[in-house]
Chains A and B, each alone.
Chain A
Amino acid sequence: MAAHQVRRSGLTMPVVTRRFVDHAWRRGCDFINLDLEDSVPQHLKAHARGLIKDAIPVVRKGGAEAFTRINHDYVHADLEAIVWPGLSKVNYPKAESAEEIRLLDDVITRLERERGIRPGTVEIGANIETATGVAAAYDIALASPRVKEFGGGTGYDMSRDLGVEMFVGFEQFAYGKGELELAARALGLQVRAAPFVANTTGSVSDADRALREAQAARKCGFRLGGGLNPAVVEPQNRGFTPTAEEVEDARWVLERHRELAGTGDTWIVIDGRVIDRYEAARARDTLEWAALCTERDREKAEAVLRTRAAMAEPTPPTLA
């Protein structure tokens, strides 16, 4: 599962709430998802669109990537307003067909050309939130090379569409999640998935829970996080990053595996653990991911320092 970006944590926020947007850079997120959809009231949709262009550089001041979630029903108006330099991804809710994704791709391609954005920069996040979307998952994921990560298949919209309850103690989305993940893997996309952890509360700010979930997801090989409350950002960054012990263990596994070369054996058991090419691949993956996380953390820290330095500069004297 090759990583192309480090996206352990991120906050989705209504672009119309100024204080969220202004403070976003201080949160330590890997990405910020500016919302035009469900968290923006209908009468503010036009106003909200007009805010995105300026909000992009604001939320990136701490080194985060900037995404925007558009409305399923206002594709043209929303895309015209949001595809500007600095945007990494358009999240498209309730995706249900390949045609929808191809339309998005066409419009984004034109806007990239017109606005001096390198072709292919802007990704499409095809969010599957309905049964129809599950049925068309493979075609949707295949519809554009801009779709680079894929999965999900849970959440309030899916819950309502399927008629299942949202906070239950069992895996109520098993089939749909499986379909999406299989499509993602078959197409070689980054998988957005998580192991099942029962959630019967619906809390969005439980830091301990966020850490446990992120750790469980990392141990399963997953890397993509995100949330709604600043309290879960740090736990997600930490939970998705390999620990020092894991990095050391990965090096040990690779050494043991190298020792197998030329022995005629393809695997060996050491202290009750199998060492084989699969464990070796996993270890290499851990080391690569740990290095990417370190690099990403450095990038963000430097961006924060730059921003703070710029803010601390004495304000130029003004004429009285």
Chain B
Amino acid sequence: MSARVRRSWLVVPMSKSEEIVRASRSTADVIVLDLVEFVAEEDKPAARERVEAAIRTAQAGGAEVFAQVDPELLVADLLACAWPGLTGVIVSQLESAQQVADVDGLLAELEAKRGILPGTLEIVAALETARGNHAAYDIGRASPRIRGLTLGRADLIMDLRPEPSGEIHLMPYLMQRLIAVARALGVTPLGAWWRAPARGLLAGPDDTYHAARRGRAIGFTGSLCIDVNQVEPLNRGFTPDDAEAAAATELMTAYRAGVARGVALVEQGDRLVDRGAAAQARALLDRAAACEARAREKAEMAARPPLVRP
């Protein structure tokens, strides 16, 4: 089974209802209804009240909907979020397998109570602290609901600052570690390879595209973002481009011709193509097709008239 195409995860603070409508028109693959990072503490009770309705609004453009919840405010946040229509939750600053078990248990209760198919609500674990990253492997396998790992805002939460090279200190190590752990567990690593100074909140479309493109090169498949203008560059950066797809098609053609001749090692220009190279090209083409299908799906959803509720 190929994983869902989730390249852009647009985070929308639940304190700003007007932004949810904008987000629904943004072509984001996923909209993340945030109750953690961008909602002032005193606004949280009101923000929680808005989630149930926001799930429907956010879905209008064909996006999947996640909610971002705080492990210290778990019960209140999950009660506010776990409604039909929600795909899953991003749990901020996860630090232990026990916390994952707590989330899992609460989600199971809410699924039973609210008519949601058991076991369908997903978890993305945001490993934003050193303790969380240290325990990454145990956290990642603590529940079958876990589908993704991300460093989230680790650079800010761990106070990792730019080096003279422009790399954010420790991030190359943390990214590679997270990707290796995620792949070992068969879950999706989420993130982009940001560089100073244009990262996160301040990154314009170009910097966002390059962060996504570099991110795809080291194994990420999608990333969180906070600005609607970052959605398109993420979608583009995480989608194989036409030149890549053409090169992969050519490679596959050469390889198939070789296999038909009875050889498994085929010369293509000055490259040698074997089963591994062909499998990689195949994966890229599958991914490109999945991205295209996702774009169609979103367009159809957006064109559909709004549901009239009785």
- Chain A interfacial positions (CB closer than 8 Å to B): 1, 138, 174-175, 177-178, 181-186, 193, 195-197, 216, 219-221, 262-267, 269, 272, 274, 276, 278, 281-282, 285
Interface size for B (C-beta < 8 A) is 33
Q: Which 6 A-B pairs have the closest CB atoms?
A: A178-B173, A185-B130, A195-B163, A186-B134, A186-B130, A278-B156
CB distance from B226 to the nearest CB of A (A): 9
* A282 and B159 contact, CB distance less than 8 A: yes
Supply 4 further A-B pairs (C-beta < 8 A) apart from A219-B162, A220-B162: A186-B131, A267-B201, A278-B156, A281-B159
**15 A-B Cβ contacts within 8 A?**
A174-B173, A178-B170, A181-B173, A182-B130, A182-B134, A184-B130, A185-B158, A193-B170, A195-B165, A196-B163, A196-B165, A216-B164, A264-B15, A274-B202, A278-B156
* A278 and B159 contact, CB distance less than 8 A: yes
CB distance from B217 to the nearest CB of A (A): 17
How far apart are the CA atoms of A27 and B146 in the complex, in Å?
Answer: 56
How far apart are the CA atoms of A183 and B172 in the complex, in Å?
Answer: 16
Please name the residue on chain A nearest to B41 by beta carbon.
Answer: A266
Q: List chain A residues, Cβ under 8 A from B43.
A: 264
How far apart are the CA atoms of A184 and B130 in the complex, in Å?
Answer: 9
* B39 and A266 contact, CB distance less than 8 A: yes
Interface centre among A219, A262, A269 (most CB of B within 10 A): A219
How far apart are the CA atoms of A23 and B167 in the complex, in Å?
Answer: 40
Please name the residue on chain B nearest to A261 by beta carbon.
Answer: B40
Residue B37 at the A interface, CB < 8 A? Answer: yes
* A266 and B169 contact, CB distance less than 8 A: no
Residue B25 at the A interface, CB < 8 A? Answer: no
Q: List chain B residues, Cβ under 8 A from A186.
A: 129-131, 133-134
Q: List chain A residues, Cβ under 8 A from B169.
A: 193, 195, 220-221
Residue B296 at the A interface, CB < 8 A? Answer: no
Known interface pairs A182-B130, A265-B40; A274-B201 also in contact (CB < 8 Å): yes
Taking CB atoms and an 8 Å cut-off, the chain B residues in 1-55 that contact chain A are: 13, 15, 37-40, 42-43
How far apart are the CA atoms of A182 and B177 in the complex, in Å?
Answer: 11
* B173 and A195 contact, CB distance less than 8 A: no
* B159 and A175 contact, CB distance less than 8 A: no
* B37 and A266 contact, CB distance less than 8 A: yes
Q: List chain B residues, Cβ under 8 A from A264.
A: 15, 40, 43
Please name the residue on chain A nearest to B13 by beta carbon.
Answer: A266
How far apart are the CA atoms of A276 and B200 in the complex, in Å?
Answer: 13
Q: List chain B residues, Cβ under 8 A from A195.
A: 163-165, 169
Q: List chain A residues, Cβ under 8 A from B13.
A: 266
The one of A1, A177, A276 that contacts B173, using a Cβ cutoff of 8 Å: A177
Q: List chain B residues, Cβ under 8 A from A272.
A: 202
CB distance from B157 to the nearest CB of A (A): 7
How far apart are the CA atoms of A197 and B169 in the complex, in Å?
Answer: 12
Q: List chain A residues, Cβ under 8 A from B177.
A: 178, 182
Interface centre among B37, B130, B162, B165 (most CB of A within 10 A): B130
CB distance from B210 to the nearest CB of A (A): 19
Q: List chain B residues, Cβ under 8 A from A175.
A: 173
Residue B294 at the A interface, CB < 8 A? Answer: no
CB distance from B159 to the nearest CB of A (A): 6
Residue B161 at the A interface, CB < 8 A? Answer: yes
The 0/1 profile, CB within 8 Å of A marked 1, for residues 267-293 of chain B is: 000000000000000000000000000
* A138 and B134 contact, CB distance less than 8 A: yes
Q: List chain A residues, Cβ under 8 A from B165.
A: 195-196
Please name the residue on chain B nearest to A177 by beta carbon.
Answer: B173
Q: List chain A residues, Cβ under 8 A from B202.
A: 269, 272, 274
How far apart are the CA atoms of A184 and B157 in the complex, in Å?
Answer: 15
* B170 and A181 contact, CB distance less than 8 A: yes
How far apart are the CA atoms of A186 and B95 in the complex, in Å?
Answer: 10
Known interface pairs A185-B158, A267-B38, A274-B202; A216-B131 also in contact (CB < 8 Å): no
